[in-house]
Structure formats: structure tokens, C-alpha cells
Amino acid sequence: MGFALREFQGAAGVRTVADVSGKIGLSSRRFIQVFTDEVGLTPKLFCRVRRFQEAVQRIGTGQCVNRASVALDCGYFDQAHFIHDFRAFSGLNPSAYAAQRTEHLNHVPILD
């Protein structure tokens, strides 16, 4: 699975499950099963988490961030897709996260 992890995390572009499973020589179904058993997440969920982590890092720089650019740079189809995933993982939209962020990228203060 090391090859698959490198492919999904690589900067060479967004890889699909079909692309990676074809290179490995497994059917998509078998690849998903083996990947899930070894990594603990399905390939699709793994890729979603990686995109979210990249977006959090970019927003966490503290610079003025264009959400549309972040969305495209991180592999999201569009800004709405980015906002939906961001809210699904963090409970906040990207603007709220940016306003509440601390020096710790994965934490925001709990508001009373």
C-alpha cells in the first residue's frame, strides 16, 4: 500500500482509485478492501482527509487566503465542494475557522 499512499499524497495531480488500482494490478473492489484493511480508511475518505489537511495548512498561514484558490490547489472540484468538506470535518466553514484559528492548526477555541 506504500505505492498507493504515495500516489494519493503526491503533487503530480489527483489520482483516482481506478488509476491507482490499475497500476497495482488489482480490481477497484479488491484494492478498496486491501487499502481499508491496511490503512483504516477507504481510499476515498483518505483522500478527503488529506485534502482537508492541506487546506487547513494553507489557511493556517495567516495570510489573506482566497478560498477558491485554496479549493483548486487542494484538489477540490469547486469552492462549494471545498466548503462542504471543510464543514464536514471541522464543524466550521473556512471563514469561521480562519477567524478563530490559533497557532495550533488543528485547534480553535471553544466559544461559550
What is the CATH classification number for the domain harbouring 26?
A: 1.10.10.60
Q: Is residue 108 part of a domain?
A: no
Q: Is residue 34 part of a domain?
A: yes
Q: Is the pTM of this model over 0.85?
A: no
Burial of 69 (0-12, 13-18, 19+ CB in 10 A): exposed
The pLDDT tens digits for 13-33 are: 557 788 888 888 899 899 999
Q: Is residue 31 part of a domain?
A: yes
The pLDDT tens digits for 62-105 are: 665 788 888 888 888 888 999 999 999 988 888 888 888 777 77
Domain that holds residue 21: 2-100
Q: C-alpha cell of 74?
A: 487542494
Q: Is residue 111 part of a domain?
A: no
Contacts 24+ apart (CB under 8 A), 52-55: 52/85, 52/86, 52/89, 52/90, 55/82, 55/86, 55/94
Q: C-alpha cell of 60?
A: 493556517
Domain count, the chain: 1
Q: Is residue 112 part of a domain?
A: no
For 98, phi and psi rounded to 5 degrees?
A: -60, -35
Q: Is residue 71 part of a domain?
A: yes
